[in-house]
């Protein structure tokens, strides 16, 4: 049992998780040194509605933020994006990325900011070629076999991502103390689907086939992504993030056994790996599209909250998920586009069913570019009335 000072508190490490156990001793010492800083992160939930509900307490009205709240529906974002160069250049420009992160807070007064970045900075930092093509999205050089996976390198991983951590520091220093800052990463399965397939796809066929045909090789990729995700999230916490979200956007296309191996178990390992260093960090998991497997994830992943996609019935969320964790969601992003009385009714329904327990009001997935700003105003006013 060891006790170390990590950023803002003394942490007692009882058992080193296998993720860290597998890391060479010099890498572990370097990792711990990385977090022995003078960074001060407020630990009290008194001023943070989001942190309060993540600790298991109900809050009336509930805190609200939106996935992809910093993005293309905002005219001020489009102005910054036009001057930034490529999308990755924007992600790696701390001044611009911090400005973009803060824009929805300044405009709408959300209860939390979420770091502006992308889940694919991890493969980029591992040496895989990543680009973002206009009107196409991310394009990567596909990893077609185990030999290609072995070309990935952790050398300089955290150094490559240093601009992201600087963004977190800039945002935290600019935020009102009552606004929480969320860091994030993509879940290993979802990130792997892009790394293997080379781009997004409706069925993740390339990654699913790889995992069936070469489970040992695919496991090596997942293990690598678990380990570097732990490092990445810890560095965000050290820079000033106060909560984390793990996005598993493509979890819904896997059978139960594969979901357990490629989604649930890696999520558990990331959560326990992070908490081996920072024991009390609140973590939100988002296994989008897994339907009846949501309760299994809520019980076993170790997260404080689950973000619920739009397809989940409210009574299912209340009965099967909320007794175990805080719940987040799950307004349809397209209803936010439509607005009007239907939007008000659904907001009221969500709060009526879920508002007596710990909940965070959010969407069932990210806000879409065509969303009218006045409808976001309508949403916030209705939630907070």
Q: Which residues are catalytic?
A: 68, 72, 81, 118, 194
Q: What angle do CA 173, 174, 180 make, to 5 degrees?
A: 80
Spatial distance between the Cα atoms of 193 and 142, rounded to a whole number of angstroms: 10
The torsion angles phi and psi of 322, rounded to 5 degrees, stand at -65, -25
Q: Which residue is associated with the tokens 């997935």?
A: 365
Spatial distance between the Cα atoms of 31 and 384, rounded to a whole number of angstroms: 42
- 68: tokens are 């992809």
Based on DSSP, count helices (H) and strands (E) in the chain, helices before strands.
20, 11
Q: Which residue is associated with the tokens 């040194």?
A: 33
- 330: tokens are 């799950």
Spatial distance between the Cα atoms of 377 and 206, rounded to a whole number of angstroms: 41
Long-range contacts of 37-46 (CB under 8 A, 24+ apart): 37/7, 37/238, 39/7, 39/8, 39/169, 39/238, 39/239, 39/240, 40/8, 41/7, 41/8, 41/172, 41/237, 41/240, 41/241, 41/242, 42/177, 42/242, 43/8, 43/9, 43/280
Q: Which residues of 282-304 are buried (b: 16+ CB within 10 A; e: fewer)?
A: bbbbbbbbbeebbbbbbeebbbb
Contact 165, 235 (CB under 8 A): yes
CA distances from 251 to 138, 183, 187, 208, 222 (A): 18, 20, 9, 11, 14
């Amino acid at each position: 049992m060891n006790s170390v000072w990590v950023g803002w508190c003394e942490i007692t490490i009882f058992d080193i998780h296998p993720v860290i156990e597998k890391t060479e001793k010099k890498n572990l010492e370097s990792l711990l040194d990385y977090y022995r800083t003078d960074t001060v992160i407020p630990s009290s939930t008194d001023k943070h509605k989001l942190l309060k509900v993540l600790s298991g307490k109900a809050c009336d009205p509930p805190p609200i933020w939106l996935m992809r709240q910093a993005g293309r529906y905002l005219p001020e974002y489009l102005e910054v994006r036009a001057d930034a160069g490529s999308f990755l250049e924007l992600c790696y420009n701390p001044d611009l990325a911090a400005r973009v992160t803060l824009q929805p807070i300044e405009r709408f007064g959300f209860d939390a900011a979420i770091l502006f970045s992308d889940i694919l900075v991890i493969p980029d930092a591992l040496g895989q070629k990543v680009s973002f093509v206009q009107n196409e999205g991310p394009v990567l050089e596909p990893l077609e076999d185990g030999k290609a996976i072995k070309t990935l390198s952790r050398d300089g991983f955290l150094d490559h991502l240093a601009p992201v951590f600087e963004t977190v520091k800039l945002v935290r220093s600019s935020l009102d103390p009552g606004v929480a800052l969320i860091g994030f990463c993509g879940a290993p399965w979802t990130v792997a689907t892009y790394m293997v397939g080379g781009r997004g796809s409706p069925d993740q066929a390339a990654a699913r086939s790889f995992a069936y045909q070469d489970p040992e090789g695919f496991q090596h990729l997942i293990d690598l992504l678990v380990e570097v995700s732990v490092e990445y999230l810890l560095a965000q916490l050290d820079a000033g993030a106060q909560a984390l979200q793990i996005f598993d956007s493509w979890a819904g296309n896997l059978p139960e056994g594969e979901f357990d191996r490629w989604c649930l178990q890696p999520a558990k390992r990331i959560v326990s790996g992070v908490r081996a260093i920072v024991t009390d960090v609140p973590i939100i998991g988002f296994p989008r599209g897994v339907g009846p497997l949501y309760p299994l994830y809520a019980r076993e992943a170790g997260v404080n909250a689950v973000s619920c996609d739009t397809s989940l019935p409210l009574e299912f969320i209340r009965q099967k998920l909320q007794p175990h964790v805080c719940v987040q969601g799950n307004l349809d992003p397209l209803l936010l586009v439509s607005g009007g009385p239907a939007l008000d009714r659904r907001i009221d329904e969500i709060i009526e069913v879920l508002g007596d327990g710990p909940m965070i009001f959010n969407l069932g997935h990210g806000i879409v570019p065509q969303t009218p700003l006045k409808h976001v105003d309508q949403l916030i006013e209705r939630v907070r009335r």
